[in-house]
Structure 1
Amino acid sequence: MAKAVRASLGEKTITCQVCDGDLFRERGVKLNSTGGELLGLAWADESATGLICWHCGFVHLFVNREIKLQRVKV
């Protein structure tokens, strides 16, 4: 079962753009480029933090490494 998290950037709490929820499931996401795929270098492409809204399922992507996640019991 996925663990719920709350997220923030600095003092700003992140909420869902669609439903304003503040609980998410976290997942790493690869940002593949066409060149990397063609040359077999997709492993070197940049990655992002994916936050999937616990309530509506909207996916938010963050490349900023300053994002802070806190586990929450649901």
Structure 2
Amino acid sequence: MASKPKRAAIGEMWINCQVCRGDLFRDREVKLNSSGMEFMNLAWANESATGLICWQCGYVHLFVNSELRLYRADK
């Protein structure tokens, strides 16, 4: 099932797509794998980021900022 569109902000600043300037996204967790951790079979311990995938053009934005907030969008 596809996720519902969301808007995102960091503090008072709303996020827009860097490519198409859209403001609707779907989100997913993204592992920031490093080759060293992969080599030692410790990929599970790599840091994660929030991936915001533009609803309009599909460009993926990555955020590790803990202040990122997601809000339901009424599309």
Paired with 1:41 and 1:3, the residues of 2 have a C-alpha distance of 32
CA shift digits 1:5-54 (9 cap, x unpaired): 10000000000000100000001000000110000100000000000000
Instruction: Please give the root-mean-square deviation of Cα atoms over the aligned residues, in Å.
Output: 0.7
| Counterpart position of 1:36 | 37
Give how far 1:73 is off. Answer: 3.0
Paired with 2:4 and 2:37, the residues of 1 have a C-alpha distance of 32
Structure 1 stretches (4+) deviating beyond 6 angstroms?
none
Amino-acid identity (%): 64
Q: Any residues of structure 2 matched to 1:1-74 within 5 Å, and which?
A: 1-74=2-75
The TM-score normalised by the length of structure 2 is 0.94
Q: Which runs of 5+ in 1 are unaligned?
A: none
Paired with 1:16 and 1:47, the residues of 2 have a C-alpha distance of 20
Aligned residues: 74
Paired with 1:73 and 1:44, the residues of 2 have a C-alpha distance of 36
The TM-score normalised by the length of structure 1 is 0.96
Q: Which runs of 5+ in 2 are unaligned?
A: none
Letter in 2 for 1:40: N
Three-state SS of the structure 2 residue aligned to 1:27 is strand
Paired with 2:5 and 2:73, the residues of 1 have a C-alpha distance of 5
